[in-house]
């Protein structure tokens, strides 16, 4: 049960709650007698409750980044929490492409794509992404969050059915809800449950949406089985491959390619440019008809400024490197294997993940937080992920690995994990 503070208690918070106003008292002329709840006050109380439950989120400023090394509060920390899986975010070719395009084209795109913001750099990137993923066309969005909202809002109408894995990323869940679809969430990777949910409304237009690689667990969705289910049930499959692109599949084309799914079998493919590609932004790839439909109806595409063309130029350079420098994927896989072998030897609570996301499931939010703090004291930055981002009782250290990590970095991480205090009753460390 969350504890609701009295305003007296709340006033002891670091950032005091706003003063209660009763019936507009103290507001001077124009005060009303309305008993409306005060929105700012309500928000402050919710923040207080989150703090009391040890779930408060805090922002950290990184003063400088250099490969996996991060400087924060004047300290140099070895990071295991970035999604820069191939180590491309500081690659000289990306930086050169960004600078060149900025020199030629300036910084901002100046307008939305459909006005005059769609530049040559965007068109080239879309072409490169479509070719890489084996799709007819691609459409850029400024963020993955917007790509998912826009795609779902364009595809789904009020009352349609949207079936989703329970562990899908928040923006897929938000996308279905904002589109007004009926959202049904099946237990993680449970094909039979997904089938039952689809069959519960056989006449409804239906989208089945899944992460390709699950962002907090690191495992891969059973894509081939989901595609077969969608074909049987006449549902449309949408895959969010934010964490698979660049990492999985032949030439890094992602989890959909690794599962061997064609455009017909997985017609809506979304992925981001801010993770393995080391940039920022996202795209949806699929048939020309899908992309044209998004161009007509996806509001987060239509009503927003196009990403800076220089960023698109950098992402184009990243696609080239991610496709052709397969040694980066091999190095990442070797790093993952080294970590998993070492963690298993230490008896750490590894999850069943083949990807760059290697969480250690600790359960209790406070235990996860204290483990992250202990690692930080030893110079390592690892994020504790707590509810509501993950389910209650499933807090974890979300360790992410990169091709930029060396064997020595991994050994250092393992040493620090081995030194964490054992929770009461546990057999191994952490």
Ligand X SMILES: Cc1ncc(COP(=O)(O)O)c(C=O)c1O
Query: Which residues are designated catalytic?
Result: 215, 243, 275
**Between 119 and 243, CB nearer to ligand X:** 243
Residue closer to ligand X (CB basis): 242 or 268: 242
| Cα–Cα nearest to 99, from 314, 278, 273 | 314
Q: Which residues from 125-154 bind ligand X, rule CB under 6 A?
A: 143-145
Judged by CB under 6 A, the number of residues near ligand X is 13
- 269 part of the interface to ligand X, by CB under 6 A: no
Binding site feature residues for substrate = 57, 169, 389
* Cβ proximity to ligand X, 5 vs 212, nearer residue: 212
Q: Are 189 and 166 in contact (CB under 8 A)?
A: no
Lay out the site mask for ligand X across 36-75 (x = CB under 6 A, - = otherwise): ----------------------------------------
Q: How far is the CB of 215 from ligand X (least distance, A)?
A: 4
E strand segments, 212-274: 236-240, 268-272
Alpha-carbon dihedral sign for residues 334, 340, 341, 342? positive
Residue nearest to ligand X (CB): 144
Q: What is the dihedral of CA 349, 351, 355, 356, to 10 degrees?
A: -30
Contact call for residue 360 and ligand X (CB under 6 A): no
**Smallest gap, in angstroms, from Cβ of residue 309 to ligand X?**
18
With vertex at residue 4, the alpha carbon angle to CA 3 and CA 6, rounded to the nearest 5 degrees, is 130
Compute the least distance from the CB of residue 412 to ligand X, in Å: 26
Tell me if 215 contacts ligand X by CB under 6 A: yes
State which of positions 195-214 bind ligand X (CB under 6 A). Answer: 211
Smallest distance, ligand X to C-beta of residue 407, A:
27
Q: Could you give the CA distance from residue 311 to residue 319 in angstroms, rounded to a whole number?
A: 12
Q: Give me the least distance between CB of 384 and ligand X, in Å please.
A: 17
Within 142-187, strands assigned E span 161-165, 182-186
**Least Å from the CB of residue 351 to ligand X:** 16
Report the distance separating Cα 142 and Cα 272, nearest Å: 9
Angstrom distance (rounded) from CA 235 to CA 202: 10
Taking the C-alpha atoms of residue 254 and residue 246, their distance in angstroms, rounded to an integer, is 6
> DSSP strand E in 57-155: where?
64-66, 69-72, 75-79, 137-141
User: Please, how many CA atoms are within 13 Å of residue 136, restricted to the half-sphere of its CB?
Assistant: 12
Nearer to ligand X, 79 or 144 (CB): 144
Residue nearer to ligand X on the CB measure, 300 or 429: 300
Annotated binding site for pyridoxal 5'-phosphate: 144-145, 215, 243, 272
Which span sits near ligand X by CB under 6 A: 61-69, 237-245, 338-346, 400-408?
237-245
Single out the residue of 242, 285, 311, 417 in contact with ligand X (rule: CB under 6 A): 242
**All residues at 6 or more sequence positions from 209 whose CB lies less than 8 Å from its CB, including other chains:** 152, 162, 163, 164, 165, 168, 172, 175, 176, 237, 238, 239, 240
Q: Which two tokens stand for residue 284?
A: 């949806």
Q: d(Cα 428, Cα 99) in Å, to the nearest integer?
A: 50
Between 306 and 417, name the residue whose CB sits nearer to ligand X. Answer: 306
Instruction: Tell me if 274 contacts ligand X by CB under 6 A.
Output: yes
Binding flag, residue 85, ligand X (CB under 6 A)? no
Using CB under 6 A, pick the residue from 86, 240, 248, 357 that binds ligand X: 240
What residue ranges bind ligand X (CB under 6 A)? 143-145, 169, 171, 211, 215, 240, 242-243, 272, 274, 282
């Amino acid at each position: 049960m969350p504890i609701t503070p009295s305003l007296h208690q709340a006033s002891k918070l670091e950032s005091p709650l706003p003063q209660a106003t009763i019936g507009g008292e103290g507001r001077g002329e124009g005060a009303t007698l309305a008993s409306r709840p005060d929105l700012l006050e309500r928000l402050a109380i919710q923040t207080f409750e989150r703090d009391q439950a040890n779930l408060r989120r805090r922002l950290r400023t990184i003063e400088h980044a250099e490969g996996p090394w991060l400087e924060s509060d004047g300290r140099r920390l070895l990071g295991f929490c970035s999604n820069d899986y191939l180590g491309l975010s500081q690659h000289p070719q990306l930086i050169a492409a960004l600078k060149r395009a900025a020199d030629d084209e300036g910084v901002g795109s100046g307008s939305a794509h459909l006005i005059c913001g769609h530049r040559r750099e965007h068109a080239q990137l879309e072409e490169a992404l479509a070719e890489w993923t084996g799709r007819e066309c691609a459409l850029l969005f400024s963020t993955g969050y917007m790509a998912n909202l826009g795609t779902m809002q364009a595809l789904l109408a009020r009352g349609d059915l949207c079936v989703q894995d329970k562990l899908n990323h928040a923006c897929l869940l938000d996308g279905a809800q904002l589109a007004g679809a009926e959202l049904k969430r099946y237990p993680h990777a449970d094909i039979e449950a997904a089938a039952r949910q689809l069959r519960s409304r056989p006449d409804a237009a239906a989208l089945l949406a899944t992460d390709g690689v699950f962002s907090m667990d690191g495992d891969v969705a059973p894509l081939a089985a989901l595609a077969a289910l969608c074909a049987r049930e006449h549902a449309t499959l949408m895959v969010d491959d934010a964490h698979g692109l660049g990492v999985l599949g032949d030439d890094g084309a992602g989890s959909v390619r690794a599962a061997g799914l064609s455009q017909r079998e997985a017609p809506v493919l979304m992925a981001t440019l801010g993770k393995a590609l080391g940039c920022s932004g996202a795209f949806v790839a699929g048939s020309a008809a899908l992309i044209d439909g998004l161009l007509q109806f996806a509001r987060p595409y239509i009503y927003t400024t196009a990403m800076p063309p220089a960023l698109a130029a950098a992402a184009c350079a990243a696609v080239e490197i991610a496709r052709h420098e397969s040694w980066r994927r091999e190095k990442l896989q070797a790093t993952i294997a080294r970590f998993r072998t070492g963690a298993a030897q230490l008896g750490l609570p590894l999850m069943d993940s083949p990807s760059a996301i290697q969480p250690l499931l600790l359960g209790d939010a406070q235990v996860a937080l204290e483990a992250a703090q202990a690692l930080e004291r030893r110079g390592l930055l690892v994020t504790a992920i707590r509810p509501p981002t993950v389910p209650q009782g499933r807090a974890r250290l979300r360790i992410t690995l990169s091709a930029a990590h060396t064997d020595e970095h991994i050994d250092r991480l393992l040493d620090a994990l081995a030194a964490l205090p054992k929770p009461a009753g546990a057999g191994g460390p952490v």
